[in-house]
Amino acid sequence: MRLGPDLLDRLPAAVARPRYDREAVGCGVVHLGIGAFHRAHQAVYFDDVLAGGETEWGIAAASLRSPDTRDALEPQNGLYTLAVRAGDGEALRVIGSVQQVLVAPEDPERLIALLADPRIRIVTLTITEKGYCHDPATGALKEDHPDVVHDLGDLFRPRSALGFLAAALAGRFAAGTPPFTIVSCDNLPANGKTLKAVLDRFCALVSDELGQWVRDEVCCPSSMVDRIVPATTDEDRARVSAALGVTDAWPVMTEPFTQWVLEDRFPNGRPDLAAVGVELVDDVEPFEHMKLRLLNGSHSTLAYLGYLGGYQTVSETMADPAYARLVRGLMDEEATPTLHMPPGTDLTAYKDALIERFRNPALKHRTWQIAMDGSQKLPQRLLGTIRDRLAAGASIDRLALGVAAWMRYVTGVDEKGEPIDVRDPMASRFKDIAAAAGNPETLAASLIGIREIFGDDLPAEPRFIRPVKEALASLYRVGARATVAETAGR
Ligand code: CS2
């Protein structure tokens, strides 16, 4: 038997479930890029909104590529289980806020029509860093990106999120419908501003009139989202289904912690998000820096060094005391001095909690998963911190080791000579660079020369190049574990 509305009453008492009338809920939100993160984060906040009695904020979610989520959730009427996991067990909750799942490439016009519907007042995005079709170093739209070129040529059968948004906004503009508010929930720097810049530019390339309307009318509040969501395994599916007594084809795994900090700019209305724990602020930037630099910067550092050191998951990596010391040192000594938090923020408590979250043994968060798409992640996770440190004349040893570990990782060969499955939009470029480089020194020099990642400044900065080259040389000489032990002890 498959999880579905008719079976909700028969679930074990310990399983939380929607107590509101799902049939009475209208759709007010479209989410682009439905994946596990959306289902463990924004969809849960909206489920709380609906549980609080609001009825206009159901979610229609779209996948921009694969039909997998739709195939799993459609027979379940959108219902799925959230498994909140910690050392002391697992709490299950069935989420009801996702009303339908569309697969964009199967019927692009249907998604555009939905987005153009006046009832849709908010669009949320988790399309990953590379989904913005931008240059990660500058934030500008890559006008020669194949999806951008394609979508500008055929706006009514787009591929990219920007294409869908522009096509729908064109429809709303023509119909005199106010625009929706668009909330980026990706780990980009100034994600709202970055989205707004690429969208404005994209729409201006469609037409001057649309460009101007979008520039003047469309709001993209920035947000900081945080919840660790490892990929679901077959073992997870089997365990959750057994606990429910019915099959859930795709439950999502997460941790108890969750946070959403959001700029309060919603001219077309929003639910009472504060009532469900969203922190509404005027300026997200300090929180975003805190999270990107402390959590994600540490995560990527742990992922590359952990993978190279032979560790499969973050919690396994953290169980090595040298790695734990390195990452705390990275946070305390190198990242924290670059943060400017509002008064009253307890960064020590935040970092203590982060260390515990990384250690959570119930989460099998693979280092390989986090290592993906490093070219898109490095700038905001490590390089911004490095720039601020260098401007202050301060040391960057641990940050440089994180960058060097990324370099060794993207060569595609691990310490035992085994291949690494490198997933990155620039993977083939890395392979060519690695093949041409005769030694760590030239490897580092060639990778640092990639301006889309390192910008114009870092390739010309000896105080950056030297520690990265030294760290990379050490990774090749003695390996990740010994280099971590040595750097952590400094
Ligand atoms: C991770 C993030 O995969 C990754 O790159 O660093 O997805 C991380 O788990 C989330 O940002 C936590 O909020």
Segment 233-269, tens digit of pLDDT? 999 999 999 999 999 999 999 999 999 999 999 999 9
2-23 burial string, b = 16+ CB within 10 Å, else e? ebebebbeebeeebbbbebebe
**Position 143 confidence tier, pLDDT thresholds 50, 70, 90:** very high
Please determine, for residue 489, whether its predicted confidence score (pLDDT) is greater than 90. Answer: no
Q: Is the CB of 191 under 6 A from ligand 1?
A: no
Mean pLDDT of 315-338: 98
**To test the ligand 1 pocket, which listed residue (295, 376, 406) has its Cβ within 8 A of the most ligand atoms?**
295
Beta strands, E only, 168-288: 181-184, 223-226, 252-254, 259-263, 279-281
CATH code for the domain of 216: 3.40.50.720
Structural domain tally of the chain?
A: 2
Clarify whether residues 331 and 378 are in a common domain.
yes
Q: Is the CB of 357 under 6 A from ligand 1?
A: no
Clarify whether residues 54 and 141 are in a common domain.
yes
Mean pLDDT of 442-466: 97
Clarify whether residues 224 and 352 are in a common domain.
no
Give residue 383's identity as a one-letter amino acid code. L
Clarify whether residues 320 and 267 are in a common domain.
no
Q: Is the CB of 313 under 6 A from ligand 1?
A: no
Mean pLDDT of 54-63: 98
First to last CA, the chain: 57
Per-residue pLDDT of 290-321, as tens digits, reads: 999 999 999 999 999 999 999 999 999 999 99
Last residue of a domain, one of 225, 256, 281: 281
Among positive and negative, which fits the CA dihedral 93, 96, 97, 100?
positive
Clarify whether residues 403 and 434 are in a common domain.
yes
Last residue of a domain, one of 222, 255, 281: 281
Clarify whether residues 373 and 226 are in a common domain.
no
Give residue 153's identity as a one-letter amino acid code. G
What does pTM read for this prediction? 0.96
Centre of ligand 1 to C-alpha 53, Å, is 31
Q: Is the CB of 375 under 6 A from ligand 1?
A: no
Q: Give the whole-number percent of the chain exceeding pLDDT 70.
A: 100
Closest Cα to atom 5, ligand 1: which residue?
A: 370
Contacts of 319 (CB under 8 A, 6+ apart): 359
Please determine, for residue 7, whether its predicted confidence score (pLDDT) is greater than 80. Answer: yes
Clarify whether residues 310 and 245 are in a common domain.
no
Closest Cα to atom 10, ligand 1: which residue?
A: 228
Centre of ligand 1 to C-alpha 167, Å, is 30
Mean pLDDT of 119-130: 97
- Looking from the CA of 34 toward its CB, the CA atoms found within 13 Å total 30
**DSSP readout, 6-33?**
GGGGGS-TTSB---S-GGGPPEEEEEES
- Nearest atom in ligand 1 to the alpha carbon of residue 296 is 6
Q: What is d(CA 116, CA 180) in angstroms, rounded to the nearest whole number?
A: 9
Q: What is d(CA 208, CA 434) in angstroms, rounded to the nearest whole number?
A: 44
**To test the ligand 1 pocket, which listed residue (187, 229, 360) has its Cβ within 8 A of the most ligand atoms?**
187
Q: Is the CB of 38 under 6 A from ligand 1?
A: no
Clarify whether residues 396 and 339 are in a common domain.
yes
SS3 159: coil
Give residue 268's identity as a one-letter amino acid code. N
Q: Which pLDDT score, from 0 to 100, does residue 136 have?
A: 85
Q: Which pLDDT score, from 0 to 100, does residue 212 have?
A: 98
Cβ neighbours, 10 Å, residue 313: 23
- Nearest atom in ligand 1 to the alpha carbon of residue 377 is 5
Clarify whether residues 215 and 293 are in a common domain.
no
Domain encompassing residue 226 = 5-281
Chain centre to alpha carbon of residue 281: 20
Closest Cα to atom 9, ligand 1: which residue?
A: 228
DSSP 8-class letter at 490: -
Centre of ligand 1 to C-alpha 28, Å, is 27
Please determine, for residue 435, whether its predicted confidence score (pLDDT) is greater than 80. Answer: yes
Centre of ligand 1 to C-alpha 223, Å, is 15
Closest Cα to atom 11, ligand 1: which residue?
A: 226
Mean pLDDT of 55-83: 98
Clarify whether residues 59 and 37 are in a common domain.
yes
Q: What is d(CA 137, CA 134) in angstroms, rounded to the nearest whole number?
A: 9
Centre of ligand 1 to C-alpha 180, Å, is 27
Q: In 3D, which of 88, 94, 26, 17 has the Cα closest to residue 54? A: 26
Centre of ligand 1 to C-alpha 95, Å, is 22
Q: Is the CB of 40 under 6 A from ligand 1?
A: no
Mean pLDDT of 173-198: 97
Q: Is the CB of 183 under 6 A from ligand 1?
A: no
Question: In angstroms, what CA-CA distances link 479 with 35, 312, 454, 476?
Answer: 35, 16, 25, 6
Question: In angstroms, what CA-CA distances link 429 with 303, 403, 422, 425?
Answer: 21, 17, 11, 9
**To test the ligand 1 pocket, which listed residue (44, 185, 228, 358) has its Cβ within 8 A of the most ligand atoms?**
228
Q: In 3D, which of 381, 451, 379, 367 has the Cα closest to residue 414? A: 367
Centre of ligand 1 to C-alpha 204, Å, is 32
Q: Is the CB of 290 under 6 A from ligand 1?
A: no
Cβ neighbours, 10 Å, residue 259: 16
SS3 232: coil
Centre of ligand 1 to C-alpha 35, Å, is 13
Q: Give the whole-number percent of the chain exceeding pLDDT 90.
A: 98
Per-residue pLDDT of 34-54, as tens digits, reads: 999 999 999 999 999 999 999
Clarify whether residues 270 and 383 are in a common domain.
no
Q: Is the CB of 187 under 6 A from ligand 1?
A: yes
SS3 340: coil
Q: Is the CB of 381 under 6 A from ligand 1?
A: no
Q: Is the CB of 39 under 6 A from ligand 1?
A: no
Centre of ligand 1 to C-alpha 370, Å, is 7
Chain centre to alpha carbon of residue 285: 16
Mean pLDDT of 223-228: 98
Q: What is d(CA 255, CA 377) in angstroms, rounded to the nearest whole number?
A: 22
CATH code for the domain of 331: 1.10.1040.10
Average pLDDT across the chain, whole number = 97
- Nearest atom in ligand 1 to the alpha carbon of residue 227 is 13
Q: Which pLDDT score, from 0 to 100, does residue 137 have?
A: 85
Last residue of a domain, one of 252, 281, 310: 281
**Position 88 confidence tier, pLDDT thresholds 50, 70, 90:** confident
Cβ(24)–Cβ(1) below 8 Å? no
Please determine, for residue 490, whether its predicted confidence score (pLDDT) is greater than 80. Answer: no
Contacts of 99 (CB under 8 A, 6+ apart): 22, 25, 27, 58, 59, 60, 78
Chain centre to alpha carbon of residue 382: 15
**To test the ligand 1 pocket, which listed residue (370, 382, 409) has its Cβ within 8 A of the most ligand atoms?**
370
Per-residue pLDDT of 455-478, as tens digits, reads: 999 999 999 999 999 999 999 999
Question: In angstroms, what CA-CA distances link 81 with 25, 195, 244, 259, 314?
Answer: 19, 31, 9, 19, 24
| 94 strand-pairing partners | 81
Clarify whether residues 9 and 144 are in a common domain.
yes
Q: Is the CB of 41 under 6 A from ligand 1?
A: no
